[in-house]
Amino acid sequence: MPAVKPKRNFPMMDMTAMCDVAFLLLTFFILTAKFKSQDAAEIETPSSISGIKVPDKDLMQISIDKDGKIYFGIDNMNTRIAMLDNMAAAKGLSFTDKEKKAFALQSNFGMPLAQLKAFLNLPGEQQKAFKQPGMPVDSTAQNDLAMWIYNARKANNGLRIAVKGDNLSKFPAFKDVLGSLQMQNINKFNLVTGTEAPPAGWTSDDK
């Protein structure tokens, strides 16, 4: 035993300030960030130097994943129901209210019209687990995508179109989507890309 026992003084810190900072940061993130939308498939977009942002509202999104499967979605829940009604009227199908509600929750979907009713009747977890096969877009046989685009624009004329393609998707898939859009005289649309800094010393001509 040492002759003089050293006085052990455990330093105690007042955590109040740290707690304040933590909750301030938390409030900031809650208020300024939006949740990631549940997409039907993972898509990694290429990046571009374009400075324009994707519009928030009135957006129609056509996604192409790396295997060339096509998914379609619009952002407004009411427009989704209106679009489904238009589609049902055009094709002579009918959807129950429950199915319409389930449809309104889908931000993105991709399957032939024939499979849609069965998909909407699946319970929640099975819907998430279901691997959607992509929408047929062959210009010759059956172009579901063109019909969905037409009915969506009928429901909301001001929809702007964004095409979100995966890095590895092959060009022919994009060409099919382009064909469906051109068939309906849509010649101006956006490609969703990631943000990339322009090379050093580059200034924009516009503005």
Partner 1 sequence: MSEIQQGGGGGHKKGGKVRSKKASTRVDMTPMVDLGFLLITFFILATTLSKPSAMTLNVPDKQDKQVETEPLKASKVLTLYLGKNNTVHALDGVAPDDETAKAKMKDVGFGPDLRALITASRARINAANPTTDAGGAFVCVIKPLKNSTYKNMVDALDEMAITKTKRYALVDLLLQTDKDLLGDKVND
Q: Which residues bind partner 1 (CB under 8 A)?
A: 14-16, 18-19, 22-23, 25-26, 29-30, 32-36, 45-46, 48-55, 64, 162-175, 178-179, 182-183, 185, 187-196, 198-199, 202, 205
CA distances from 150 to 61, 154, 191 (A): 13, 6, 19
Give least dist CB 77 to partner 1, A. Answer: 20
8 A C-beta contact, residue 139 and residue 180: yes
- Kindly give the pairing relationship between strand 47-48 and strand 70-74: unpaired
Give least dist CB 144 to partner 1, A. Answer: 20
54: Cα separation from own chain's centroid: 11
Sign of CA dihedral 161, 127, 37, 166: negative
Q: Which is nearer to partner 1, 8 or 92 (CB)?
A: 8
Give least dist CB 194 to partner 1, A. Answer: 6
For residue 54, give both structure tokens: 């994707």
Q: Which is nearer to partner 1, 136 or 179 (CB)?
A: 179
Q: Which is nearer to partner 1, 3 or 200 (CB)?
A: 200
Give least dist CB 176 to partner 1, A. Answer: 11
Give least dist CB 145 to partner 1, A. Answer: 16
Bridge partner residues of 165 (DSSP): 64
Round to whole Å and give the CA distance between 18 and 14: 8
Q: Which is nearer to partner 1, 34 or 207 (CB)?
A: 34
Amino acid at 176: D
Other C-beta atoms within 10 Å of 129: how many? 8
Q: Which is nearer to partner 1, 1 or 36 (CB)?
A: 36
DSSP assignment of 120-137: HTS-HHHHHHS------B
Q: Which is nearer to partner 1, 104 or 191 (CB)?
A: 191
Give least dist CB 72 to partner 1, A. Answer: 17
